[in-house]
Copies of this chain bind each other. A is one copy, B any other.
Amino acid sequence: MTYCVGMKLDDGLVLMSDTRTNSGVDNISVFRKMFHWTKPGERLIAMMTAGNLATTQAVISKLEERSKAPDDRQNSLLELPTMFQVAAEIGKLLRETVREIQDENGMQGMGRFTASIIVAGQIKGMEPRLFMIYPEGNFIEASFDTPFFQIGETKYGRPILVRGYDKDMSFEDAVKLLFLSFDSTLKANLSVGLPFDLLVVKRDEFKPLHERRIEYGDPYFDSISSGWGEALRSAFHVLPDYTFYQNAPAAKTK
């Protein structure tokens, strides 16, 4: 499994992904799931992948090759004119890659080689944009109402994001919120694991503002993980207490 979150803020974009891949519980590995390409001063394009590792690696390799092969340069992520076209091109490549391997495996391949991708970035003169691409190659864009996307094991880490997200929060607060969301997921699903990759992209900078791998034993992550239990307990006690008698007009206390 995997857990990746891409978040759009007033100030820019924040992306975080885990690095665990597994085939069963006794075959786990560390693989990078976050990638980015930059043309300094002009564009930054980042991607995070979830799903079949062979599929996502094939997509990434094809994108890498294109950015180097001169005759296919018009479809390179570094040349396409808008983020919408970038998302469409990645979607097309994903669909083709999934379809190819599925066709080769017939009925047995149905649904087994799929993947999802989050694409985020900005091209000079345009807004930062955030997309989620489905295995079918179609995609949706983050909006004011849905300002972040999750792929992989999305459920455990969602409630804290829904409660904590604010589009005008600082990058530092956004990273703290992501750490909490990843901590909740980590505690519940063995197939999501450290290290994490973090990328912060400030609007109109076209290069990473902050890029880091959070390793096992990271002191800040540990302080968040251990402090959150205590902080939650305090928050819990701030809330009004339930009583069997007063607050409950319909209570039948036998």
Q: Which residues of A contact B (CB under 8 A)?
A: 155-160, 162-164, 171-173, 175-177, 179-180, 184, 187-188, 200, 207-213, 215, 218-220, 223-224, 227-229, 231-236, 238-244, 247-248, 250-254
Chain B residues with CB under 8 Å of A179's CB are 242
Contact: B252 with A212, CB < 8 Å? Answer: yes
Task: Tell me, rounded to whole Å, the shortest Cβ–Cβ distance linking A100 to chain B.
Answer: 30
Give A211 Cβ to nearest chain B Cβ, in Å: 6
20 A-B pairs (CB sep. < 8 Å): A156-B156, A156-B158, A158-B188, A162-B187, A162-B188, A163-B228, A163-B229, A164-B232, A172-B244, A173-B242, A176-B241, A200-B244, A209-B244, A209-B254, A210-B252, A212-B250, A218-B250, A219-B247, A232-B235, A234-B235
Given the known A-B contacts A159-B184, A250-B215, A253-B209, are A236 and B231 also in contact in the complex, defined by CB atoms under 8 Å? Answer: yes
Which of B173, B211, B239, B248 is close to A231, meaning CB atoms less than 8 Å apart? B239
Chain B residues lying within 8 Å of A248, measured Cβ to Cβ, are 212, 220
How long is the Cα–Cα vector from A243 to B224 in the complex, in angstroms?
Answer: 13
Provide the bound-state CA to CA distance between A158 and B220, in Å: 24
* Residue from B188, B208, B219, B252 in contact with A211 in the complex, judged by beta carbons closer than 8 Å: B252
> Is there contact, CB below 8 Å, between B254 and A240?
no
Interface-central residue, A210, A235, A238, A248, by most chain B CB under 10 Å:
A235
* Closest residue of B by beta carbon distance from A245: B210
**With A172-B242, A211-B252 given, can you name 18 additional A-B contacts, CB distance below 8 Å?**
A155-B188, A159-B160, A162-B188, A172-B243, A172-B244, A173-B242, A177-B236, A212-B252, A219-B247, A220-B240, A220-B247, A220-B248, A223-B239, A224-B239, A227-B240, A231-B236, A231-B239, A234-B234
Q: Are A210 and B156 in contact (CB under 8 A)?
A: no
Contact partners of A177 in chain B: CB under 8 A: 236
Given A188-B162, A213-B250, A236 and B176 contact (CB-CB distance below 8 Å): yes
